[in-house]
Structure 1
Amino acid sequence: MKTTFLLVLTSTLTALAADPGAWVVHFDGKTVNGLRGYNQTAFPAEAWKIEDGTIKTIPRSAGGKPVDLATEQVYADFEFECEWKVSPGGNSGIIYRVKEIPGKPAYATGPEMQVLDDEKHPDGKANFPKRTAGSLYDLIGKGMKEKTYKPAGEWNKSRLVIKGGNVEHWLNDTQIATYKWGSQEIKEMLATSKFKGWAGFMEQAEGRIVLQHHGEEVWYRNIRSRKL
């Protein structure tokens, strides 16, 4: 009897531990939830605004300040989803496991899932896979012919999953990158990338998820995350 009870209890606890957390909807078309300015305490209205069911950057050309959006929560293992579209030549990114350090940008500590106009941005036009949409920026990616990509002005869907050190980048239901956090393979890639010698880069086991304001016009919608 006791043995049976313990087996049932153990199975129940294991199942509960394996279940993902509830989705946190960060933007539902009207309301921003759980997002604030990077290294700030409030939503950066000087940099982002709600417009036609989207949350969009105010570009530098319109007087916007390049302030990134960061989640209030810190994530270790998680799943993140959003839809995005860019202006011609536009650039943004989803940066994760970010440690906020005053005076340092989000990309100083966290890797980036690229958000880009592959057709008109220099990185995309050169078809440099490691810097195109969906890539693990400057480390792992796929060329335009290897993925489903929608051009400037059309909506793309990004999905990011980290569980047990395994990381996956998805773009429009195509896996663009997969790797093991902290692996020797990643360390070797970093040693030949622009991040060589960056102290504190990709060293955190947890951090915030950040939407980058790169200066151009970029729109996001259906933003949500959950802890795994």
Structure 2
Amino acid sequence: LSFSKARENHSWVADPERKVLVSMGGDFNELETVERFKDFVFRCEWRFPPGGPAGVNGSGIVVRARGVEKGLDPRGIEIDLRPVPAQDPLFGTGCFTAYGTRLRNPSGYADGVKNRHLGRLADPEVKPNAEWNTCEVECLGDRIKVTMNDSLVNEAWGAADVAGTICLRNQNAAIEFRNVRLSPVPSSQPSPVGEWIERRPGTPVGDRIRTFSADGKLLVYLPKSRQRSQGTWRQEGRRVYFRDNPAPDAEERFFDIKEFGSTHLTIMMDGKREYRWEALR
């Protein structure tokens, strides 16, 4: 992995003899990967070294980050790392913090703005600060799973299924990382390339859909309100067939893609009705 320093004021250094990445304190300090990743397994070892500052905010790993702005947290999903014994149901090691994105797990729902914190599924068995801990973060589709010291501590779904950078961050606590590795996972689904909103006459706000593509061709139509349905979808050329539920006798409907541009999408539903969708910015 190649990292760059995301902000001008930073305290990250590499220790070539110990093969360790070190940050000795300061706030809003991030190392950010040069490349972006969507589906992957990220592994590392981490510890709060003895003798360094141990701020209560600790550190974290931000995945699918979409930018770092001055004085603000990285936009993405952070896995909390906090000094022992700073463990809290919503803010401790292994908890999620959603910055500008949505996320859900058994502890609740984070909208990324007012409600950003999600508790963990199990308390991690974190070692004393001078000892090394292992962390594995798996991002597949809209799901994120976190394992600490070989035990599952958190899992969530509803994450934005988009590529982003990975940030190692520091918030007023000295921290070290080593054996940082990433294994990309080939995506089983096409990547989203746009989100569209339906404009019907007399209707100010309509339904939303997403478009997916590979090699520049529209592949799959997926209504946002039905993303978790068990319906089936298949495409033949510019015609998309779909069923809203998996029952064998469910009606199969279709629509034809008439126009697919950067600002609009026009479809003909069931060969009868034309619908125009505008790009949602």
Q: TM-score, normalised by structure 2?
A: 0.51
CA deviations 1:66-121 (Å, max 9, x no partner) are 431001111111110110001473510001111115436343x21111111131x3
Q: Which residue of 1 aligns with 2:65?
A: 98
1:39–1:100 Cα contact (<8 Å) kept: no
Would the alpha carbon gap of residues 147 and 216 (structure 1) be closer, same or farther in structure 2, given more than 3 Å must change? closer
Whichever of the two has the greater Rg, that structure is 2
Residue 140 of structure 1 is matched in structure 2 by 119
Q: One-letter code of the match for 2:95?
A: S
Quick one: distance in 2 between partners of 1:96 and 1:87?
Answer: 23
**Partner Cα distance (1:178, 1:205) in 2:** 18
- Is the counterpart of residue 82 in structure 1 residue 44 in structure 2? yes
Would the alpha carbon gap of residues 208 and 39 (structure 1) be closer, same or farther in structure 2, given more than 3 Å must change?
farther
**Alignment partners' CA distance in 2, 1:131 and 1:36:** 27
For 2:131, what is the secondary structure of its paired residue?
coil
2:13 aligns with 49
Q: How does 1:120-139 map to 2 (within 5 A)?
A: 121=86, 124=87, 128-137=88-97, 138-139=117-118
**Contact 1:87 1:216 (8 Å CA) reproduced:** no
Percent identity over the alignment is 21
Work out whether residues 141 and 161 of structure 2, in 8 Å CA contact, stay in contact via their aligned partners in 1.
Answer: no
Of 148, 153, 159, the residue aligned with 1:171 is 148
More helix by percentage: 1
Tell me, yes or no, if structure 1 residue 181 matches structure 2 residue 147.
Answer: no
Distance 2:161 2:29 in 1: 22
CA–CA separation in structure 2 for the residues paired with 1:164 and 1:102: 26
5 Å-filtered alignment, 1:64-83, equals: 66-83=28-45
Tell me if the contact between 1:135 and 1:169 (Cα under 8 Å) persists in the aligned partners.
no
Question: TM-score, with normalisation over the residues of structure 1?
Answer: 0.62
Is contact 2:7-2:29 (8 Å) kept?
A: no
Q: 1:217 corresponds to which residue? A: 174
1:151: Cα distance to partner?
1.8
The whole-number CA distance in structure 2 between the counterparts of 1:226 and 1:106 is 25
Report the equivalent of 2:3.
35
Alpha carbons of structure 1 residues 136 and 66: separation in structure 2 relative to 1, 3 Å: closer
Pair 1:147–1:68, CA change in 2 (3 A): closer
Shift of 1:39: 5.5
RMSD, matched Cα: 2.3
Between the aligned partners of 1:72 and 1:106, the Cα distance in structure 2 is 18
Q: What is the number of residues matched between the two proteins?
A: 159
RCO higher in structure (CA 8 A, sep ≥6): 1
Q: Which has more strand, going by share of residues?
A: 2
Gaps of at least 5 residues in structure 2 are: 98-116, 186-281
Gaps of 5+ in 1: 1-25, 27-33, 183-202
Matched, 1:112 2:56: no
